[in-house]
Structure 1
Amino acid sequence: MLTIGITGGIGSGKSTVTDFFAQLGIAIVDADIVARNIVAPGTACLEKIALHFGPHILDHNGHLNRRKLRDIIFTQPSERAWLEQLTHPLIQEATQHALSLTTSPYRIYTAPLLLEVGQNTRVDRVLIVDVPEALQLARAGARDGATSESIRAIMNSQWSREQRLAKADDIIDNSRDITHTKTQVETLHQQYLKL
């Protein structure tokens, strides 16, 4: 089955784009959702994270405090490496299982680090959701309430806009209004159906 990999920098609007594809009946497997599921309360993965980082990494309900964790791993590369060696194999296994269950005419796998961790070799086409860096900062800050410094740290851990665009088979310009984005999704949908 044709698999489209969607990625883009933080705040680029990947979720908006995948929501439009979902409205067209296309199965979406989202690495962020898979990542949240593997660290749900009661999972062995979350227990290992809490043991490693300490109980303060959990909120009062026993859920992972993602903001605290993000602040640690994007300022301490060794901690990020530790977390990735724990979570990435689990995410890949769960993702492959979810993809195997899809039944739409083609399927979408969306991941913020699709290119950075080499997952683009597992998809047939790479679709980049693109916006200028200033817009990434503004959108991510408004959405997450994060400081520009923490957003920049995340951006610096991802490939640059130029690197992403160089690997693109398809590009959606998400810097304009929602209608413009939806029109681009509908056009690509027709192309993917033909493929």
Structure 2
Amino acid sequence: MEAGSLHTGKKIIGITGGIGSGKSTVSKFIEELGFPVYDSDFWAKELVNIDKNLKSRIIELLGEESYDENGKYNRKFVAEKVFDHQELLLKLNQIIHPAVKIHFENWVKAQNAEFVFKETALLFELKLNESCYQSILVTADENIRIKRVMDRDGRTYREVKEIIDKQMPEVDKVKLADFVIQNNTDLESLKEFTHQVIDELKRMDL
């Protein structure tokens, strides 16, 4: 459990989970309860297209093909370029993540809420949990996660398994998380578990 970690008087709650875990669905349920949620993955995808400094640094690292003829981020090219090159991926992350961090800090300042939530796939990998008041891990059995992603994205079993194998092991994430939401059943159960976590956070704040 991380103490402190207050941003201008606001308590930051990190939400994370591996591919197919359902973390975005949990974020949606939290938004429905009236809490602001920052989607780090969404904003990372936006910023690579709208931040001119970011664009020039990515082109410098990976080449002109990082953007198409319309100046739009070439996600397929970049993914193929860095997938089996950890050093390149690290350098790319070192360019993108600081930009997202600054954007998030400005977003937090604009929120009028005591609790603000940050959804990010790399909460523990980047040690972002250390600047959070609490952290929530959404998890599910690996075979369930693989089937979800295969159904959702049309990927093969092997493709999804490769992605999972490159992520931090679930057992390590569970040890680091303050709250763990198991998402092995249905949406109603997931919503109920999410509400229970929010109720507990409110009680902690009394």
Q: Answer yes or no: is the 8 Å Cα contact 1:57–1:64 preserved in 2.
A: yes
Report the secondary structure of 2:117's partner residue.
Answer: strand
1:90 aligns with 2:99: yes
Q: CA 1:101 to 1:157, structure 2 compared with 1: closer, same or farther past 3 Å?
A: farther
Residue 180 of structure 1 aligns with an amino acid whose one-letter code is S
Corresponding residue to 2:128 among 102, 119, 124: 119
Aligned equivalents of 2:50, 2:71: Cα separation in 1:
6
Matched ranges for 1:1-195 at <5 A: 1-41=10-50, 43-59=52-68, 61-194=70-203, 195=205
Q: For residues 122-152 of structure 1, give each alpha carbon's deviation from its aligned partner in whole angstroms, at most 9, with x where no partner exists.
A: 1011110011111222222333333444433
- The residue identity in structure 1 corresponding to 2:178 is D
Q: Is the 8 A contact 2:68 2:74 kept in 1?
A: yes
SS of residue in 1 equivalent to 2:49: coil
Whether the 8 Å CA contact 2:61–2:92 is kept in 1: the answer is no
What are the ranges of 5 or more consecutive residues in structure 1 without an aligned counterpart? none
Q: Relative to structure 2, which stretch is displaced further, 148-157 or 109-118?
A: 148-157
Moved more, 68-77 or 55-64: 55-64
1:7–1:114 contact (8 Å) kept in structure 2: yes
Task: After superposing the two structures, state which structure 1 stretch, 140-149 or 23-32, moved more.
Answer: 140-149
**In the alignment, is the contact (CA less than 8 A) between 1:8 and 1:130 conserved in 2?**
yes
Give the Å deviation of 1:14. 0.8
Distance 1:42 1:110, change over 3 A: closer
In structure 2, list runs of 5 or more residues that go unmatched: 1-9
* Separation in structure 2 between the aligned mates of residue 42 and residue 109 of structure 1, nearest angstrom: 21
Deviation at residue 59 of structure 1 after TM alignment: 4.2
Contact 1:105 1:193 in 2 (8 A): no
Deviates more, 1:63-72 or 1:166-175: 63-72
CA distance in 2: counterparts of 1:124 and 1:164, whole angstroms: 16
Question: What is the distance in 2 between the residues matched to 1:22 and 1:7?
Answer: 15
* 8 Å contact from structure 1 (residues 131, 175) kept in 2: yes
Rate the CA distance shift 1:149–1:77 in 2: closer, same or farther, 3 A.
farther
Are the equivalent residues in 2 in contact too, given 1:40–1:63 (CA < 8 A)? yes
In structure 2, what residue type is equivalent to 1:190?
A: D
1:51-78 deviation digits (Å, cap 9, x = unpaired): 4323333345432132332233221112
Structure-1-length-normalised TM-score: 0.90
Q: Is the contact between residue 48 and residue 54 of structure 2 (CA under 8 Å) also seen in structure 1?
A: yes
Percent of aligned positions with the same letter in both sequences?
27
TM-score, L = length of structure 2? 0.86
Letter in 2 for 1:82: K
* Contact persistence 1:129–1:174 (CA under 8 A): yes
